[in-house]
Structure 1
């Protein structure tokens, strides 16, 4: 039986309409907001490491995944963690070093996912005009560090790698936003800190980095207070789903992502370019994180920075929300 041209055209139109309807339905299902919104408060460190959260907020991805989000700025992971444990929010962005130190005092919190890593975020900066060209030149000198943080672990790792002892230098504990000023006026001879302070230091004075790239890989993580109820689990799962979507968007649109961060933190594109190349954005919970936590815990005990027995650091890693989110993505 021959099919007339008119019948063939009609069939093609029907097929095209069906395909379009299926595509629209699929896209609608992918971006359809989730049921009732769950309120969530996240303490967020004001650093480009927090990019996935800034992007998720800007693009409305938290709302898309059923989260009524409030982002509360804080000055570094130490402050974020302290505020969370005092009930200011359910979540906080912290490095693994901050998690390790707090695990000796309180195990009623968990890391639910790493969302970015960097092997060059921390730096040991000094002023070359004062004759500092290598870390060995700092023997007997004062170094500004942020207590109980990645800043302190990084400094001691550099000293060990250079054949120096922790007692070879004087450490001066400072808030992150005081480091540059204290070095500039000569109150400390060098500073150990993360970005954006490294960039801000070199933007205002001539500095030399006495550290080594790759000596330490920083992980930035989302932590929460332990709550074993269904709402808390669902909230964490939705937040991670929003961050996963944000990370995919960041990888596809790096320049637009940098523009969001630049506007949010009021920093220049040059500063972001300085740091961005070292960032790896990815949701994960790997054995590398556990190994780093255990290594840093032994270091803290050996240097009398903490008291008591080493806790079981596996107890502060909870991948249940991450696994549930990933299972849902696979099942779609």
Structure 2
């Protein structure tokens, strides 16, 4: 029996080595930890699938790369999916694998004296266009009774966020981890976190092109199985997972430890996700973030739950 199992393992490894890898756009964030774990712990190999990570900064870029044919799958929060849904429908969310309500932070220059969200009024604020950063910043302003037209908005990138604050190009900005913690580490007392209400729970998702779903169903199912192993590993071995996140993201473990409990690592596709996306689509249309005269997308077709239903039936509750 042991000999047969060993033979099968070697046979499976040979097949994996011979198969062309599926290219996954992996956003450089703590949210991608299940993918890092799957690679580090050999879960992809265990399930007989070959993958290649294509790193990208931000889910909005990962989605763009996938739609341009540079990758087969992508990682992103649901908001880049919403923005892309106005122009095409040849991709779908396969599963969410982490959620969190405190991944995005508002970081301000200390001398701007923004101690609470209400003091963002009449300030210059940075945001990453087409990402959850844009949505969260707008939500914080509206929740605090601030007309977005009364602030000066400046588009930034994750890479330029730190310098935008250091050079006083913005008074504050909205950015996700680990960039927020990196800014705090680098600028120290020059910046401060603005306490914002938890108005938004981000889901981080695995997304695939429809043609890949049709042509590589077995491989994609194996990726989902590897992610299930990863999320369970993270729950059972949090310290090892934290060390891996710090290594991959090139940040101190102490920073990972500080934000780690903000995230819930588990596979899911639940009914709150399409409802959130519908609300985001209405926001994008209302605020003029989508050009032309767009119609509200029907998000039913932007989910492909079959793989998750096979791997973890209880994780699917879209109806």
Could you tell me the TM-score, scaled by structure 1's length? 0.86
Matching residue within 29, 34, 37 for 1:52:
34
Matching residue within 97, 107, 110 for 1:125:
107
Matching residue within 50, 53, 62 for 1:71:
53
Name the CA shift for 1:193/1:29 in 2 (closer, same or farther; >3 Å): farther
Aligned to 2:300: 314
Quick check: which has more Rg, 1 or 2? 1
Matching residue within 238, 246, 251 for 1:262:
246
RMSD: 2.3
Deviation at 1:136, TM superposition (A): 2.5
Deviation at 1:200, TM superposition (A): 1.1
Matching residue within 91, 98, 109 for 2:73:
91
Greater mean alpha carbon deviation, residues 258-267 or residues 183-192: 258-267
| 8 A contact 1:143–1:191 mirrored in 2 | yes
Deviation at 1:204, TM superposition (A): 2.1
Per-residue displacement from partner, 1:272-312 (whole Å, max 9, x unpaired)? 01210111001111111111101111111110101410110
| 8 A contact 2:27–2:59 mirrored in 1 | yes
Aligned to 1:7: none
Matching residue within 297, 300, 304 for 2:284:
300
Does residue 234 of structure 2 align to residue 250 of structure 1?
A: yes
SS of the residue corresponding to residue 299 of structure 1 reads helix
Which aligned segments of 4 or more residues in structure 1 are displaced greater than 6 angstroms? 24-33
Does residue 211 of structure 2 align to residue 227 of structure 1?
A: yes
Report how many aligned residue pairs link the two structures.
Answer: 306
Return the alpha-carbon distance in structure 2 between the equivalents of residues 153 and 189 of structure 1.
18
Matching residue within 84, 94, 103 for 1:112:
94
* Structure 2 spans left out of the alignment, 5+ residues: 314-319
Deviation at 1:30, TM superposition (A): 11
Per-residue displacement from partner, 1:194-235 (whole Å, max 9, x unpaired)? 101111121122323224242211111011111276542212
Deviation at 1:150, TM superposition (A): 0.3
| 8 A contact 1:145–1:191 mirrored in 2 | yes
| 8 A contact 1:143–1:170 mirrored in 2 | yes
Return the alpha-carbon distance in structure 1 between the equivalents of residues 103 and 197 of structure 2.
9
Could you tell me the TM-score, scaled by structure 2's length? 0.90
Does residue 129 of structure 2 align to residue 147 of structure 1?
A: yes
* Structure 1 spans left out of the alignment, 5+ residues: 1-20, 328-332
Name the CA shift for 1:198/1:129 in 2 (closer, same or farther; >3 Å): same
1:173-192 to 2 correspondences below 5 Å? 173-192=155-174
1:136-215 to 2 correspondences below 5 Å? 136-205=118-187, 206=189, 207-215=191-199
Return the alpha-carbon distance in structure 1 between the equivalents of residues 306 and 214 of structure 2.
12
Return the alpha-carbon distance in structure 1 between the equivalents of residues 137 and 110 of structure 2.
18
Return the alpha-carbon distance in structure 1 between the equivalents of residues 11 and 311 of structure 2.
15
Per-residue displacement from partner, 1:49-73 (whole Å, max 9, x unpaired)? 1000000001111111111111111
Aligned to 1:239: 223
Per-residue displacement from partner, 1:9-60 (whole Å, max 9, x unpaired)? xxxxxxxxxxxx7xx6999799887583352110101111100000000111
Aligned to 2:266: 282
SS of the residue corresponding to residue 84 of structure 2 reads helix
Return the alpha-carbon distance in structure 2 between the equivalents of residues 264 and 156 of structure 1.
31
Name the CA shift for 1:33/1:261 in 2 (closer, same or farther; >3 Å): farther
